[in-house]
């Protein structure tokens, strides 16, 4: 056990799906996993383990922001022998070609966070996903006919709507090719690199910064199903 996870090592599968929202973890466990059981609920951060197509899969919420997913991913990698973490998150779209509900697969992440200062690097780190997970995810998305975009994402410490720099600050990142903005991918990819484990961030674009369109309130869970199906198929292949 850790200060943030009461599960034992045997309770956690080698591959973990990582939503930010605890209720999304509960949804995945109840709707998609077989024989799912609650293995941790410290601070109401819910974690479950079950099977998908006879493959053990865990799903553990990570909360909001880089520091939060940094804690949970580090503990999973170092204390629970987890080999792969697949983030199943949401994002704001930064490009007009990305439709509401489309899947964004993060090849790499830029950031305004100081997360990487801990590594004492003499430059700017641009962490990337695991190439094996990335290529498999694209293949799975194509087979399921899920609209998919792959490239750089921008992970910010600031929620775009509450940014004191102004609501248009995202445009500079979009100009440099960022597909979408989230808050967690950068810290996850850094932690995976440091621990020499695998990570991939799958994001459903729920709100477009370009068009101001977004998923309807009653679709905030159901609209994520295509991403969840891609993640689960991927987990069954690599688990």
From the number of C-beta atoms within 10 Å of its C-beta (0-12, 13-18, 19+), residue 42 rates as: middle
Clarify whether 207 is annotated catalytic: yes
- For residues 191 and 70, the answer to whether their CB atoms sit within 8 Å is yes
Whose CA is closest to 183, among 153, 227, 211, 150? 153
Catalytic annotation, pick one of 102, 182, 207, 218: 207
**Helix, strand, coil percentages in the chain from 3-state DSSP, rounded to 5:** 35, 30, 35
- For residues 202 and 227, the answer to whether their CB atoms sit within 8 Å is yes
Q: What is the C-alpha end-to-end distance of the chain, expressed in Å? A: 22
Helix runs in the chain, H state only: 22-32, 66-79, 131-143, 170-175, 185-195, 225-238
- For residues 189 and 129, the answer to whether their CB atoms sit within 8 Å is yes
Residues with a known catalytic role = 207
């Amino acid at each position: 056990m850790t200060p943030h996870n009461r599960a034992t090592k045997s309770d956690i599968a080698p591959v973990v799906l990582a939503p930010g929202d605890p209720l999304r973890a509960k949804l995945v466990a109840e709707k998609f996993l077989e024989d799912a059981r609650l293995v941790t609920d410290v601070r109401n951060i819910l974690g479950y383990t079950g099977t998908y197509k006879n493959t053990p899969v865990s799903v553990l919420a990570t909360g909001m922001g880089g520091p939060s997913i940094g804690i949970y991913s580090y503990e999973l990698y170092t204390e629970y022998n987890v080999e792969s973490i697949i983030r199943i998150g949401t994002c704001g779209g930064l490009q007009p070609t990305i439709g509401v509900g489309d899947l964004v697969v993060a090849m790499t992440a830029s950031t305004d966070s100081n997360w990487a200062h801990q590594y004492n690097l003499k430059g700017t780190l641009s962490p990337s996903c695991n190439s094996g997970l990335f290529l498999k995810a694209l293949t799975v998305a194509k087979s399921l006919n899920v609209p998919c975009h792959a490239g750089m994402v921008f992970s910010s410490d600031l929620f775009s709507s509450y940014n004191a720099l102004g609501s248009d600050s995202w445009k500079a990142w979009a100009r440099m090719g960022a597909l979408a903005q989230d808050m967690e991918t950068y810290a996850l990819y850094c932690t995976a690199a440091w621990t020499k484990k695998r990570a991939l961030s799958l994001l459903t674009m729920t709100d477009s910064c370009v068009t101001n369109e977004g998923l309807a309130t009653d679709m905030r869970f159901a609209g994520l199903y295509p991403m969840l199906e891609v993640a689960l198929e991927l987990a069954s292949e690599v688990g």
